[in-house]
Amino acid sequence: MAILDSKVPKGPIKDKWTTYKDKINLVNPANKRHIDVIVVGTGLAGGSAAATLAELGYNVKAFAYQDSPRRAHSIAAQGGINAAKNYMGDGDSNYRLFYDTVKGGDYRSREANVYRLAEVSANIIDQCVAQGVPFARDYGGLLDNRSFGGVLVSRTFYAKGQTGQQLLLGAYSAMNRQIARGKIEMFNRHEMLDVVKIDGKARGIIARNLVTGEIERHSAHAVVIATGGYGNVYFLSTNAMGSNATAAWKIHKKGAFFANPCFTQIHPTCIPRTGDYQSKLTLMSESLRNDGRIWVPKKLEDAKKLQKGEIKPTQIAEEDRDYYLERRYPAFGNLVPRDVASRAAKERCDAGYGVNATGEAVYLDFASAIERYGKEQAKIHNISNPSKQKIYDLGKAIVEAKYGNLFQMYEKIVDENPYKTPMMIYPATHYTMGGVWVDYNLMTTVDGLYCIGEANFSDHGANRLGASALMQGLADGYFVLPYTIGDYLSHEIRTGKIPTDTPEFDEAEKEVKDRINFFINNEGKHSVDYYHKKLGKIMWDKVGMARNEKGLKEAIAEIKALREEFWKDVKVPGGANELNPELEKAGRVADFLELGELFAMDALNRNESCGGHFREESVEQDGEQKGEAKRNDAEYAYVAAWEYKGEPSDAVLHKEQLEFKDIELKQRSYK
């Protein structure tokens, strides 16, 4: 049995990263030009890594399935990026960001990785400002901050509701500089379909040119996976429809352990689904919870009228509204962490208080924020006795300046003006905290194979705090991997070019071609989407926001049966040697069908509630925390790292015991 070695440096937590950097092996500039690195995925993690590695002098091959790195799903991130700069003077620090992240993740993350993340967070902002990222600024021209869920300080830097897009453009510009210099060779519209191992080390990949269908071999001294999360295992999610888990799952099948797959985040502020024929869901930034108040009617009869469209929310009197997050969690109110807010919304809707036709929606209301800002502006402008309309106009202008593009997006989708009618929101699958297991160096259990950003498991435990995804992606890409990969590559300076005409490349290419030929030639009855939707329904119903033993066992059996049916009856039109989106989807859904079963197995194995993983058998029965998640630190304070052994049901569990030396393990309370 393999033993997990996290390779966390010795010494005090505040000194670990500095001491580590002082003592690792380096590659001198003259040798870097002889070393090749493959980076798969060019979102924030992959783009920043590719740009930085090329800047250092390595030869980088970067792969993106989109037509440009600018199209990576990182572009969709809205609300902001965390950094412990304490610009607001409200008591923030590296330690507080570290503490909030570990607590927010319900004490299921590795302390050393999280402290390093907090430590380098401030550098990210400086790097991005230097790249020209247009962060919001206050009236004096200084960078502005806002608050996000699960914290008591304002540490989130933002660019309106387009933070991901602006940060990605910064990374993309850094990449373009290296592409022009010839240090990055860019492969757009290419999908990695397998990793190649030689003598136990990752030495290259097999990729498909998505335009021509050509299968290509690419070699390197190290391979970096930065392909994001696996939220689309649910079919309906806030992820782009092309987001997939194929690269991560392929490396899992070649020896990289997969950690904590059941740790998946349900985001509380998404536009509710409207029927059975949607292909994805749309995120509304968590930053809206700074000023929006979440409520449902107090009276069941009012909820029924709203569901039938007989009344409007503005007709419900203030005293007949239940601001349930403010009622239950007075210390944090509407800014509780995502998992807490999501479960609370589900509980109210399950009790019959949902406010749209499906009964699966709550209100996010900006009326009081508009009034508050309007009165404040009237005083600033010395307007005495302002009319209600004047207060509304002044307040609306402030809200529009802060969130205007988000409101515009909501109105285009829902066809309602959110300034006048409260937004409707409901939880949706968003982010995956689980992923490929990595050590402190961000290396997987395969030598020379690294995994960064959302694709790995390392920083968020059982629940990610808002605005921390962009922080982790850029920390890994700009400031962590470029150091840690050098330590490994220092032993590769005499290796020379890796040839691709070897039996290992032959075998990997044959496996890829055989699978493609199967899909093209299989005379099935149903489309790929038919199976993906069925998988998504099983996952949402039985492995969704709330899980129990009976449902998880049913899910495992149902997913296995669905997978068997898929391989018999899937139909993929078109050919292999052409642009064929259905063929692309077939391979991705085949991987989801395996990952989904392991996901449910992991959820069944973890018989506790923590973060985004909520087991109905494990809740507090009494006291102030009654009804809240009940963690079991005695038995489950570990990372569950699964080793591939064939069928998902044959996977072997390895445990990395988590140690908490700098933060006290205690009940997570936001009351």
Structure tokens at 617: 């058998």
CA distance 170 to 158: 14
DSSP state of 194: E
DSSP state of 230: -
CA distance 128 to 167: 7
CA distance 370 to 377: 10
For residue 197, list its beta bridge partners.
202
Look at residue 606 and give its three-state secondary structure.
coil
Look at residue 307 and give its three-state secondary structure.
helix
Q: Are 214 and 509 in contact (CB under 8 A)?
A: no
> Annotated catalytic residue: which of 71, 155, 273, 338?
338
CA distance 668 to 380: 40
Amino acid making up residue 382: N
Amino acid making up residue 502: T
What count of other Cβ atoms lies within 10 Å of the Cβ of residue 621?
8
Amino acid making up residue 575: G
Which residues, including other chains, have CB under 8 Å from residue 648's CB and lie 6 or more apart? 560, 594, 595, 597, 598, 601
The residue count of the chain comes to: 671
H or E segment to which residue 348 belongs = helix 338-348
CA distance 649 to 670: 37
Q: Are strands 435-436 and 258-259 parallel, antiparallel or unpaired?
A: antiparallel
CA distance 129 to 564: 51
Q: Are 398 and 377 in contact (CB under 8 A)?
A: yes
Sign of the C-alpha dihedral computed for residues 108, 109, 112 and 116 taken in this order = negative
Q: Are 11 and 110 in contact (CB under 8 A)?
A: no
Q: In 423-502, which ranges are continuous DSSP H helix?
A: 469-474, 481-489
CA distance 12 to 35: 34
Helices and strands: H and E segment counts in the chain = 19, 19
Which residues, including other chains, have CB under 8 Å from residue 162's CB and lie 6 or more apart? 78, 405
Q: Are 474 and 167 in contact (CB under 8 A)?
A: yes
Based on the residue annotation, tell me whether 338 is a catalytic residue of this protein. yes
CA distance 184 to 193: 21
CA distance 372 to 387: 14
CA distance 136 to 144: 6
Amino acid making up residue 151: V
Q: Are 227 and 40 in contact (CB under 8 A)?
A: yes
H or E segment to which residue 522 belongs = none
Please, what is the Cα angle at 514 between 513 and 516, to 5 degrees? 65
Give strand ranges (E) for 399-512.
423-432, 435-436, 449-451
Closest listed residue to residue 463, CA positions, set 341, 329, 356, 616: 341
Catalytic annotation, residues: 338
